[in-house]
Chain A
Amino acid sequence: MPQPIETPQDGPGPASSPGRGLIRDLLIASAGGLAVLVVGLSAMSLGWIGDKGTDAPATPRAAREAAYFQPPPRSAIPDGPDGEAIRRGEALFMNTPANAAAFTGNSLSCVNCHLDGGRRANASPMWSAWGLYPMFRAKNGRINTMEDRIMGCFTFSMNAQASSSGGPPPAGHDIYRDLQAYMHYLATGAPSGVEMAGGGYPKVDLPSQGYDPRRGAGVYATNCALCHGEDGQGRTNANGQPVFPPLWGPQSYNWGAGMARINTAAAFIKTNMPLGQTGRLSDQEAWDVAAFINSHERPRDPRQTGTVQENARRNHTGGKTFYGKVVDGRLLGGGVR
């Protein structure tokens, strides 16, 4: 078999990989007796997919939701300067390219990965992330404040290198104040310094068959292309307004983004895609389609100084990635503009 099939025999990523928060989530969830929430997800969704009762909205879902932290509703945002900052932060979160125009190099918004305005459990909600910072991150080898962390999102997920300013908002910019005001609001009443159930994306173990972008191409065609397009470039309407985000190519996240790691994308996809169909994909399908998506070229990693291989050794050893690897005879990681 040609290259890009990896199996569990390759060994898991290093313990310091950025995915470790997800591992901890799972352990804590089990210890707290909440493992059923994670493990039982697909069974429960199948349960109510099969429920033909049209006037009885899914009670199992409601019961499960209630087990997660509930951020305050939109309607409770206060008036006054605090509320104004929260609303500005929400606008930045929902429509990042328009509200942080000088610092975004693609068409993505925060909400594309943090669903429901950063409220959705298991879609890396902000109410869970807020209380974890400052924290040490292996990605840059230092203590990160929330501002540092958001700067990372601009740098990698929003590909700020292609923006009109050429980089993320400088430290201390009001964009960070407003986004943090919004996150702080979502975390009203949440504990500080602990991993919360529903935080991050629930980790999906590497299945026995590993991952294979060619199998993933079939999964993609069946489950993803309707919205994200056969070519992965998402869709815009006639006005050019984004409807579905691009998954690779110049308008997508760059090679340095967490989502460019196959394990992270698999975790996001398994729980959150297709939208509204939690549990539709098997673990195997989630890994394969994540591999397919992340086997395409995307904007270069802004940390790259020497060759792709050098940067791969320096910055891409945690988690599963095609960065710096040869797939179908092509070295991946060179970047597209």
Chain B
Amino acid sequence: MDPGAQIYASACSTCHQPNGAGVRGAVPPLGDPAFSDPTVLVAIILRGVEGPVRVGRVTYDGAMPGFSGVLTDAEIAQVASHVSRAWGDGGAPIDSAVVARARAKAAGAGPWKGGQAMAGLSPALAPQPAWTGPAPWAADPAVLTLINEGRGEALACSGCHGPQGQGGDPIPRLSGLPSAYIAAQLDAFASGRRSNDQMSGVARALSPAERQALGDYYGRQSAPSTATPSLGGDRQAGARLALQGDWSRDIPACFACHGPSGFGGGPRLPALAAQQPAYTAAQLAAWASGKRTGDPGNLMGDVARRLSEADRLALADYLAGLPSNPAAARKDRR
């Protein structure tokens, strides 16, 4: 398979769909002439977009992750060329030097804030809607103190999980996980239903309200991914399991429950994308062995028991190579 098509299948297709048609009312289709300019394509793939964008006659108000942290210049050139060839103007292949220049320009810029912010990239994009942004939210100073300084047994979260909860293998990423999920895990550590020497002590030292407040905080973060595939897993095999599952072994697609692209499937179904790989693999093993329990109806335990060691490594590395959930701060619509 063409390398650009392969990257598209594993990193883009869950939202934009295998045929580029998008999802009605949610994810724009590819191939709109205004977005086919290589400069526009590359700029969007690198930085991602947050907020309203007009594509054709439809305005989409969503969030797309930037891929600058998870794809190389050559890979972005390959996938952009694939998109252009498959649905765009089919012009000359995009050179990785073009991507390198755009990357230098985009350094540290974060996602495009709505269509208007990127309208200067090409005259064909106008008119574009303005970005209004989410309602301002400020973390409770007491929560920030807990995170950054800790309090006795309640060690500072940032010491291990990083200042924005990005994690550092094998310490898990917390940034952008569902608030209710984080709070529930802290409750489980406190009660002993989930076991981890370090976390049990921390969680017991926190009040239930503090656990909830920490969940609220991390649920609103959208730190860029710091995960790197590092376990030697077969990422293509991982992509197949995540996207399609393996029904011959009764394994549903991970993303059927954890959401398209692994960005989460609801308050109790955490995001998987950009999770630290050794953590993911260890948790899958813990589910399989029965060391970790407490999932509703044993849903996760059942699936994990059908995964082999090679599957766990493949999945962990595939997920670690995905960008983080760009929409963590946005509320699930339903």
Residues from 282 to 308 in B contacting A, C-beta threshold 8 Å: 285, 288-290, 296-299, 302-308
User: Is B69's beta carbon under 8 Å from chain A?
Assistant: no
User: Is B334's beta carbon under 8 Å from chain A?
Assistant: yes
User: Is B108's beta carbon under 8 Å from chain A?
Assistant: no
User: Is B137's beta carbon under 8 Å from chain A?
Assistant: no
| Cβ–Cβ contact A101 & B263, under 8 A | no
| Cβ–Cβ contact B302 & A98, under 8 A | no
List the B side residues contacting A242 at CB < 8 Å. Answer: 23, 26
Q: A49-B305, A98-B21, A278-B250 are in contact. Are A237 and B296 (CB under 8 A)?
A: no
User: Is B192's beta carbon under 8 Å from chain A?
Assistant: no
A97 and B23 CA atoms in complex are apart in Å by 7
Q: Which residue of A lies closest to B325 (CB)?
A: A238
Rounded to whole Å, the gap between the CB of B53 and the closest CB of chain A is 11
User: Is B22's beta carbon under 8 Å from chain A?
Assistant: yes
A244 and B257 CA atoms in complex are apart in Å by 8
Q: Which residue of A lies closest to B288 (CB)?
A: A54
| Cβ–Cβ contact B334 & A235, under 8 A | yes
| Cβ–Cβ contact B289 & A52, under 8 A | yes
| Cβ–Cβ contact B251 & A276, under 8 A | yes
| Cβ–Cβ contact B260 & A58, under 8 A | no
List the B side residues contacting A203 at CB < 8 Å. Answer: none
What are 6 A-B residue pairs whose CB atoms fall within 8 Å in the complex? A236-B333, A237-B259, A238-B62, A243-B265, A243-B266, A277-B299
Rounded to whole Å, the gap between the CB of A115 and the closest CB of chain B is 7
| Cβ–Cβ contact A243 & B259, under 8 A | yes
A91 and B108 CA atoms in complex are apart in Å by 37
Q: Which residue of A lies closest to B303 (CB)?
A: A276
User: Is B105's beta carbon under 8 Å from chain A?
Assistant: no
User: Is A270's beta carbon under 8 Å from chain B?
Assistant: no
| Cβ–Cβ contact A55 & B308, under 8 A | yes
Residues from 18 to 77 in B contacting A, C-beta threshold 8 Å: 18-19, 21-27, 29, 60, 62-63
Q: Which residue of B lies closest to A101 (CB)?
A: B24
Rounded to whole Å, the gap between the CB of B167 and the closest CB of chain A is 21
Of A134-142, A220-228, A259-267, A324-332, which binds chain B?
A220-228
| Cβ–Cβ contact B309 & A238, under 8 A | no
**Which of A74, A90, A241 has the most C-beta atoms of chain B within 10 angstroms of its own C-beta?**
A241
Since A74-B244, A91-B21, A235-B265 are in contact, a sample of 15 more A-B pairs with Cβ atoms closer than 8 Å, ordered by chain A residue number, is A49-B302, A52-B289, A58-B249, A65-B248, A94-B17, A95-B23, A97-B24, A226-B268, A226-B299, A227-B266, A229-B334, A238-B332, A239-B15, A275-B252, A277-B299
